[in-house]
Amino acid sequence: MILTHSDAIILTMKEKKNEIKYALAVLASGCLWGTMGYFRRHLGEMGIDTFGVVFVRCIFAAILYALFALIRNPSVLKIRLKDAWCFLGSGIVSLLFFSACYFKAMTYMSLSAAAILLYTAPCFVMLMSALLFKEKITYKKLFAMIMAFLGCCFVSGIGKGESLSATGLLFGLGSGFGYALYSIFGHYAIGKNYSSLTISFWSCLLAGIGAAIICAFTNCLRQCIQITFSSAGNTLFCITAAFITTFLPYLLYTFGLTGIEAGAASVIASIEPVVATIVGIFLYNERLSLFSIIGIALVILAIFLLAGNTKEKTARKKTIADEIPFDPEKQIPVIKCSICTGEQIAGFKNIKDGHFTEVMMLKSNNDLNYFKEIYQINDIKKEY
């Protein structure tokens, strides 16, 4: 594919716009998560316990994702069985695990201390991304991570002499580690060409089922369901809570991961405690201290520092082509089509032995055009 000079300029401008788009998506998700304190407090007043809150949020969000997919494209919810580990990881290992640790940590320490330990997540994400995805730990990223963490500390008022027990510390760090795993498993799922809607739906569905099982063991599932549907007002509030704190933010955050490094995304999402502080000021008349102002400024500076640190689309194309190379002399491009399910997989078939190498799943013409563009292919045949 040969680009003229004007084409190159246009492409660069589009890439810059995409960088901002992905960063804003992650930023918006953090802002929405920042309202969780209000919804969590109100759901508690209704009589729904901690795991009940996870159950309500995730199940209603999964239903909303399913309805959205049915209207838009039902096939987007299909996954391959061999990829199920990605969604078990993002749903059970991450979403359910970090929620359990986070809520448990709250019983051993103040809410602010638990929130700060939750936001050790960017540290875990950055380290795991470097090991698993070969993302570079640059001075810029490291500085932004430290700045964001210190900002969260100031916002939450840490450093006032609170002592933490070993058990509480383990639960708090566990919540941060579990929170970080969503970025990791989400990154793997994106690499297998699943959309943000697919990842969000299965993550919430599996986390909701896991929370329901725990609620059943603790004999509070029936009570949770009864409270949720005891009145139209309760049901509407639960749906609203799921929409604002789960449906939208996870969809946006996962979409952001398609164009921004996992480490940078986790730092940008640190806007959450800042928004939570602002919500507390306006809804609960909480006082804004000098430390809170400094903390908010530090987090915002960290976000601006990393807002442009995204994976450019051209770099992503190069990575896929490098990981799964195409040899025109030994291979031919082929789309494997399933007669039963209609699933289409693009890849390369070895001319000699017929071995098929999978590259990506095709869900639309845009996916097919993307595949052709990466490998500079004009013609591709289908096999059933």
Tokens of 356: 């098929």
Other beta carbons within 10 angstroms of residue 261's beta carbon come to 23
With bands split at pLDDT 50, 70 and 90, how would you rate the model's confidence at 85? very high
Lowest average pLDDT, out of 45-54, 174-183, 363-372, goes to 363-372
Q: Tell how strand 344-350 and strand 356-362 pair up.
A: antiparallel
Query: Angle, nearest 10°, between helix axes 139-156 and 290-306?
Result: 160
- What are residue 334's phi and psi, to 5 degrees? -140, 145
Which pLDDT belongs to residue 32?
94
- What are residue 289's phi and psi, to 5 degrees? -85, 170
Q: What tens digit of pLDDT does each residue of 198-255 get?
A: 999 999 999 999 999 999 998 889 999 999 999 999 999 999 999 999 999 999 999 8
With bands split at pLDDT 50, 70 and 90, how would you rate the model's confidence at 341? low
Which pLDDT belongs to residue 324?
77
Other beta carbons within 10 angstroms of residue 39's beta carbon come to 20
- What is the DSSP track for 253-312? HHHHHTTB-HHHHHHHTTHHHHHHHHHHHHHH-----HHHHHHHHHHHHHHHHHTT-B--
**306: closest CA among 351, 360, 270?**
270
**How many Å apart are CA 280 and CA 296, to the nearest integer?**
14
Helices (H) and strands (E) in the chain, counts: 18, 4
- What does pLDDT average to over the chain? 81
pLDDT of 374 higher than 80? no
Q: How far apart are the first and last CA of the chain?
A: 30
Higher per-residue pLDDT: 311 or 114 = 114
Which pLDDT belongs to residue 247?
96
With bands split at pLDDT 50, 70 and 90, how would you rate the model's confidence at 11? very low
Indicate the SS3 state at residue 333: strand
**245: closest CA among 94, 60, 63?**
60
pLDDT of 314 higher than 70? no
CB 116 within 8 A of CB 156: yes
Q: Can you give the pTM of this predicted structure?
A: 0.72
